[in-house]
Amino acid sequence: MALAGVVASLLAIYNNPPYGLHLLLPILAMTLSSMLTGWRCTLAAQVLLWLGLILLCATHHIPLAEMIVVAIVTAVVAFAVQRDNNPLLGAFGLHQTTENEVLRSLLSAVPVVLLDKQGRISRASKACADIFGIPQSATVGQSFGDLVPGFDYSKQAAPSVPSGQVESGRANWHAMRPDQSSPIPVDLWLDHTPQGPLIRLVDLTPRHAADAQARELHSQLNKVWRLNSLGEMAATLAHELNQPLGAAAAYLHAAQEDMKAAGPLGESALRTTDLAKAQMLRGGQIIRRMRELLTMEMRALEKERVSRIVDDVLPILTLTGQDRNIVISTEIEMPDVVRMDRIQVQQALVNLVRNAVEASPNNSSVVITGKVISDRSYEIGVEDSGPGIAPDQVDSVFQPMTSTKSGGMGLGLSVTRTIVESHGGTLRVGVSRWGGARFSFNLTTAKQEAEE
Ligand code: ADP
């Protein structure tokens, strides 16, 4: 069909000399220009050509039918080769996009604004509008100083100001957003163009995020380093303290022998020294376990009664709350036999109760609870009526070296968590019955284990 049309057109041109031959040149010119322009220009050229052909037919008695064939074939060829649709151009890599369009699409990805003499935006790229959080069309006419507070056209972009980075005088320029969400820190670079001052914005958010990450990493490393030093210190302390504690226990023992020999007179002193000896031995055990914990050594877990291990430490715990009239009570459900390293779990309890007492108001209560959760699991909890833990602090309080207390080391909860995890449990924090904090962890029930 197309071939027949082309042949018919050529015949029409050939049959109408000299007009037919004269027509060849504008048809060729139009075809070429169609190849280089889009469909709009092609359509406009076609309309003009058709008008020319009609005029030619009217004034020179050329058969209208032949000219219509020429016009239709020309139109088909022109639209087929026009730039937006031309497979030939595509084959030569010249398809559709001109250099200008490439430049335009590149520029739309770069955050730039063009200002007028009043410092208002006359053009802004899409990337720039995205930084300001407004549609591209809404940027035009806005004062750049309103979007980047502190920017003064006469001082920072007037023709007398040299091109280059625009000094902010403060930490950074900030691009404001209409929803007042956190402003975006930016660097500004000025270039003078014939159309006016061109300002390129560099979004500093990724750089700031990387800086923050580096700082966080540094502080974590610092903590690890301090923890390692603490570990070494605890190991040395354990070694050094064991000697005097052992010697003191031996002296106490010798003194007890003398007291026994003294008869009824020495009995009361004997009981007191017995208590002192037990506490001294406990101190030695704590230091030894601490060293085991820091070197992650774990002893076999023994069957223990929760009520018994709580009763053992209750006198010491009661002392911590005595001067502020804080009563420490227990609510332990039976059966309460669980598997544990007694000294370590007692250490965990002491840490939790000490924190609870420190957080509680005067004349209040702290409760140690023991609850049967299932055949396999037993929960130990410590509840207080202090301010509790804010939801956004729930993770951070467990981080070592995190403390809100003036003399706090921030180690209690992290050591407690390590103890609980070494027993296969999880240390959790929730809300107590009085709206304060409730720390709890689970241990494995011993009875069930024995049955398995
Ligand atoms: P430290 O007691 O040395 O500060 P911890 O690791 O034991 O270290 O506690 C870390 C932080 O957790 C405390 O500084 C405190 O802010 C918070 N915290 C711990 N227990 C409680 C509690 N029962 N109520 C309120 N805040 C607590």
Residue whose CB lies within 8 A of the most ligand 1 atoms, among 355, 357, 360, 392, for a mutation test: 355
CB-based contact 368:331 (threshold 8 Å): yes
d(CA 426, CA 125): 53
Other beta carbons within 10 Å of 339? 19
| One-character DSSP codes across 88-156 | HHHHTT--S--HHHHHHHHHHTS-EEEE-TTSBEEEE-HHHHHHHTS-HHHHTT-BHHHHSTT--HHHH
Q: Rounded to the nearest whole angstrom, what is the distance from the C-alpha of residue 97 to the centroid of ligand 1?
A: 65
User: What are the residues whose beta carbons fall under 8 Å from the beta carbon of 35, sequence distance 6 or more?
Assistant: 81, 82, 83, 86, 88, 89
Measured in angstroms, how far is the CA atom of residue 440 from the centroid of ligand 1?
Answer: 14
- C-alpha–C-alpha distance, residues 284 and 291, integer Å: 11
What is the structure's pLDDT at 452? 42
Cα–Cα distance measured from residue 176 to residue 183, given in angstroms and rounded to the nearest whole number? 5
Give the model's pLDDT for residue 253. 85
Can you tell me whether residue 368 is helix, strand or coil?
Answer: strand
CA 17 – CA 103 distance, rounded (Å): 47
Q: Letter for the amino acid at 241?
A: L
Distance, CA 83 to ligand 1 centroid (Å)? Answer: 72
Start-to-end CA distance of the chain, whole Å, equals 89
Distance CA(162)–CA(378), nearest Å, equals 74
Helix axes 39-60, 64-81, angle to 10 degrees: 170
Among 358, 409, 413, the mutation site with the greatest number of ligand 1 atoms within 8 A of its Cβ is 413
Give 227-250 as a DSSP string: HHHHHHHHHHHHHHHHHHHHHHHH
Q: How far is the CA of 320 from the centre of ligand 1 (A)?
A: 15
DSSP string, 424-440: T---EEEE-TTSSEEEE
- What is the four-CA torsion angle of 92, 95, 98, 104, rounded to 10 degrees? -130
Q: Are 15 and 69 in contact (CB under 8 A)?
A: no
Compute CA distances 345 → 244, 246, 419, whole Å: 26, 24, 7
21 half-sphere exposure, CB direction, 13 A CA radius: 2
CA 183 to chain centre: 17
Q: Give CA–CA dist 232/238, Å, rounded.
A: 10
Structure-token pair, residue 133: 């959080």
Tens-of-pLDDT digits for all 452 residues of the chain?
A: 556 666 666 666 667 666 666 666 667 776 767 666 666 767 777 777 777 777 777 777 777 777 777 777 777 777 776 665 555 555 555 555 566 676 677 777 889 999 998 899 998 989 999 888 889 888 899 899 989 988 999 888 889 989 999 988 767 898 888 876 788 899 999 999 888 899 999 999 888 888 888 777 776 666 666 666 666 666 666 666 777 787 888 888 888 888 888 777 778 888 888 888 887 877 777 777 666 665 555 567 889 999 999 998 888 788 888 889 999 999 999 999 999 988 888 888 988 999 999 999 999 999 999 999 998 999 999 999 999 999 888 888 888 777 888 877 777 888 888 889 888 899 999 999 999 999 999 999 986 444 44
- Residue 335: per-residue pLDDT: 92
Radius of gyration of the chain (CA): 44
Ligand 1 centroid – CA 397 distance (Å): 6
224 CA distance to ligand 1 middle (Å):
19
Nearest to 288 by CA among 352, 251, 240: 240
Q: Given ligand 1 and candidates 227, 358, 397, which is best to mutate, with the most ligand atoms within 8 Å of its CB? A: 397
355 C-alpha to ligand 1 centroid (Å): 6
Q: What is the amino acid identity at position 94? A: L
Q: What is the pLDDT of residue 51?
A: 78
Q: What's the pTM?
A: 0.47
* Interatomic CA distance for residues 404 and 107, integer angstroms: 51
pLDDT value at position 53?
A: 72
pLDDT at site 91: 54
328, 368, 403, best to mutate for ligand 1 pocket (most atoms within 8 Å of CB):
403
17 conformational bin, left if phi > 0, alpha if psi -120 to 50, beta if neither = beta
Residue whose CA is closest, atom 16 of ligand 1? 404
The confidence score (pLDDT) of residue 90 equals: 52
Cα distances from 363 to residues 86, 321, 323, 450, in angstroms, run 89, 9, 10, 43
Minimum CA distance residue for ligand 1 atom 17: 397
Q: What is the pLDDT of residue 87?
A: 52
Pocket of ligand 1 (CB under 6 A): 351, 355-356, 359, 384, 386-387, 389, 397, 402-405, 408-414, 437
Phi–psi pair at 76, nearest 5 degrees: -60, -45
Q: What share of the chain is helix, strand, coil (3-state, %, to 5)?
A: 55, 15, 25
DSSP state of 16: S
- Any idea what DSSP says for residue 299? P
Beta carbons of 294 and 287 less than 8 angstroms apart: no
Measure CA 40 to chain center: 49
pLDDT given for residue 76 in this prediction: 76
What is the residue type of 163?
A: S
